[in-house]
């Protein structure tokens, strides 16, 4: 995943959709690395932030979730960000006091990035785009309560 994301510069482009007001001299984990760590960990099934306190020292996650995984002198990679740091990133979508709120997400820029990534994956624009919001493939039978099913065929 990181290899493909690296070619797309996915996490760098995602980071451009956030305002990062941290003091650069005190930053241990660059924003693209925080985004990569969170996205890759979620893809691996670590959905809860508390999971990061356990997997932040996992060697494979370190290599895949860090933009520049090489450390001078062959020293081991430092630990990834913990749950508190990633929690600040996740709360970046909320309105808050800028003194303590160091990240601010720009949702409209993220939406534009997603559209740009999608359309950029085609040589020519698709003739039609179908958004299947319901991701289930199981048809419901009869008039079951809550049986909302959108089947595109």
Question: Is residue 15 pLDDT above 90, yes or no?
Answer: yes
Summarised one tens digit per residue, pLDDT across range 96-141 is 666 667 888 899 999 999 989 988 888 987 888 887 776 665 666 6
Cα pseudo-dihedral 84, 85, 90, 93, rounded to 10: 110
Percent of the chain with pLDDT over 90: 23
Q: Please indicate, yes or no, whether the overall pTM of this predicted structure exceeds 0.75.
A: no
Query: 65 with 37: CB under 8 angstroms?
Result: yes
Q: CA–CA distance from 148 to each of 130, 132, 134, 143 (Å)?
A: 18, 12, 8, 10
What are the extents of the domains in the chain?
2-120
The DSSP annotation for 8-59 comes to HTHHHHHHTTEEE-S-GGG-SS-HHHHHHHHHHHHHTT--STTHHHHHTT-H
């Amino acid at each position: 995943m990181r290899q493909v994301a690296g070619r797309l510069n996915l996490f760098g482009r995602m980071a451009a959709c956030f305002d990062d007001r941290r003091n650069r001299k005190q930053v241990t984990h660059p924003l693209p690395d925080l985004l990569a760590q969170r996205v890759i960990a979620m893809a691996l099934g670590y959905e809860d932030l508390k999971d990061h306190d356990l997997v932040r020292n996992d060697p494979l996650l370190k290599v895949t979730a860090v933009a520049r995984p090489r450390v001078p002198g062959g020293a081991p990679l430092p630990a990834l960000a913990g749950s508190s740091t990633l929690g600040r990133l996740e709360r970046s979508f909320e309105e808050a006091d800028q003194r303590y709120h160091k990240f601010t997400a720009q949702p409209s820029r993220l939406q534009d990035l997603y559209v740009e990534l999608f359309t950029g994956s085609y040589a020519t624009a698709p003739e039609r785009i179908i958004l299947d919001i319901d991701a289930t493939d199981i048809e419901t039978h009869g008039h079951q309560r809550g049986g909302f099913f959108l089947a595109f065929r």
